[in-house]
Amino acid sequence: MSKKTQSPRYVIGIDLGTTNSGAAYAEIRPGADPFAPANVELLPIPQLTNPGEVRDEDLLPSFLYLPGPSDFPAGSLALPWDETRDYVVGRLAQKRGVENAGRLVSSAKSWLSHSAVDRTAPLLPFRAPEGVAKISPVEASRRYLDHLRQAWDAKMPDAPFQAQQVLVTVPASFDAVARELTLDAARQAGYENITLLEEPQAAFYAWLERHPDWRQRVAVGDLILVVDIGGGTTDFTLIAVTEANGELSLSRVAVGEHILLGGDNVDLALAGVVALRLAEKGTKIDSRQHLALWANCRVAKEKLLEPGAKAKEQAVTILGKGTGLVGGTVKAMLLASDIEQVLGAGFLPAVASTEMPAHQRRAGLQELGLPYAADPAITRHMARFLRQQAATAEHGAVRRGPSGLACPTHVLFNGGVLNADLVRQRILTTLNAWLGEEGMPPVKALAGEDLMHAVARGAAYYGLARTGRGVRIRGGVPRTYYVAVESAMPSIPGFPAPIKALAVVPFGMEEGTDTRIPGREFGLVVGQPAEFRFFTSASRKNDQPGDLIEDFGDALEELSPMEVSFDAGETTEVVPVSFESIVTETGMLQLWCVARDGRRWKLEFNVRERVQ
């Protein structure tokens, strides 16, 4: 039996992270008790930890090093599945990048979400010196994903990766292009049968997997805030505990916007503190040294913040500008008090729930680097999410205070930055101050989270839940959606052809599901540009896919039209098509136009409401 026709034996969850990537898996076992434990396991990931030394690690650091001709001895970069590898991924890449940041690719995932650049162009390493061949964010992501695929095949030779069901996670705030580029990178890495899943949802699925008694821990009416602070992004999600058919169920009711703000920003701020301390002592560093200092501060911060750490300071060392310095190096100290000051005053200040993120006034011309959030205060972004963005949730789905603030009862932490007890406590203190002002009881932290592996574990658990083993978070579409169909009427001067609205997505259609629209065909213009118009309604909740609405007047709200030219070879034609609607796990409506001969064309847009 070929790889493509084998039935999947496992579901594999892939966390393609900004700072660390990982993989977890679970056996599908058809016919198993749907309430049996999921038994999700982590995949050990073989990788170079030193030249010529391959070891299993539970995470793959998302760093890629592009060596120079004399960086490593010949043959020392070989992997069990690739003896001629000429680049380094993972732990050794992270180590060597601290010494030579100009050859280190990092934050590829953040670049993948940067809409102002060509994400398929060779951009990384961003500040590489002359002579270093660059790669694109998509190519860097492909190499991380390829390493994880080959690690699986090395560990599980009897269950080829390409025959398994694979879920790859993305930030809840990724735009459609970033999601599509993630899929492209995965396909280029040899992935088949791929589903995308949002990281905050995956983190919550991981908590469900670790707590089969979750129904004893939360109750109907509870509202769970997922706070996900990773290396490059911050995401907020609200999950409501509801009741369906007499049983507790879960519904994702609000998703925050893209916030390029995370551990990378903290590390850069710490590098600035250390650089200022050096300057006060007469040592000024250049931009190349500052990159190395940034990487060193990341390592030092993690050591100072790791659970149980007692050290009050950590040495950071960077190469000097020339031979005039003793040993050719510059040494400084990063203090634990530096971290407390930077986090407390800059990233997690105590603010009112009415304080929104500041809009920074910027210079007219800027270098095309990553578009980091103008306001680094995570607490202000959290206030905006609970006060403004959560307001788009269906009325009654979100527990609110007198001022309208969404008031969570529980909080679930995810992301490496939240390993630090200091960070968790600052967030809890701020949240509880806001809740107190609303007359609400303090929020409870959901214990037992797995901050470094939760996303991969939760993705694997969700894969099982799709087969009927486990609990799924509901995410019903809050509106009915329609596509415009031009009536077949004779042309009349001065009067446009009448428009009818075809219902394609019903109110409440759950994410991760699809529906075919039976018994109706329409003519699709292909081979030339054509305009497609979409409408939506929050009040018409009973319209079903295939219903054709005439004379709708103001009952429907029109969305921004899109102009698309569907490829049809050398011809221009009108093709009879039927429709298939899919609402993906990441909130995208895919309207497939299916011809009688099997040709398929896709229209796609976001069905999640955003506050602008």
The Cβ of residue 356 has, within 10 Å, a number of other Cβ atoms equal to: 14
Residue 206, pLDDT score: 92
CA 16 to chain CA centroid, Å, is 8
Token digits of residue 590 = 């895919």
Q: Which residue has the tokens 């607490």?
A: 379
437-457 pLDDT, tens digit per residue, is 999 999 999 976 678 899 999
Quote the distance between the C-alpha of residue 263 and its chain's center: 15
The mean-pLDDT minimum among 35-49, 260-274, 471-485 falls in 471-485
Q: Taking all residues of the chain, what is their mean pLDDT, rounded to a whole number? A: 85
10-197 and 216-260+370-466 share one fold = yes
**Which homologous superfamily does the CATH classification assign to the domain defined by 263-347?**
ATPase, substrate binding domain, subdomain 4 (3.90.640.10)
CB 473, CB 503: distance < 8 Å:
no
**Backbone dihedral region for residue 31 (phi beyond 0: left; psi -120 to 50: alpha; all else: beta):** left
This prediction has a pTM of 0.79
113: tokens are: 């979400």
The pLDDT of residue 367 is above 80 = no
Across the range 343-361, mean pLDDT stands at 87
For the cut 80, the answer to whether the pLDDT of residue 366 exceeds it is: no
Question: What pLDDT shows up at residue 475?
Answer: 64
Helices (H), 438-540: 454-465
The answer to whether the beta carbons of residues 197 and 172 sit under 8 Å apart is no
Q: What is the mean predicted confidence (pLDDT) over 482-501? A: 73
555-586 per-position pLDDT tens digit: 888 888 888 888 877 677 888 999 999 888 77
Task: pLDDT band for 35, please (50, 70, 90 cuts).
Answer: low
Q: Considering the domain 216-260+370-466, what is its CATH architecture?
A: 2-Layer Sandwich (3.30)
For 274-409, list the strands marked E by DSSP. Answer: 313-319, 329-335
Nearest to 128 by CA among 116, 140, 146: 140
Under CATH, domain 10-197 is a member of which superfamily?
A: ATPase, nucleotide binding domain (3.30.420.40)
pLDDT at 86: 92
The predicted pLDDT at position 324 comes to 44
The residue ranges of every structural domain in the chain are: 10-197, 216-260+370-466, 263-347, 480-606
Which pLDDT belongs to residue 489?
A: 54
The pLDDT value given to residue 512 = 77
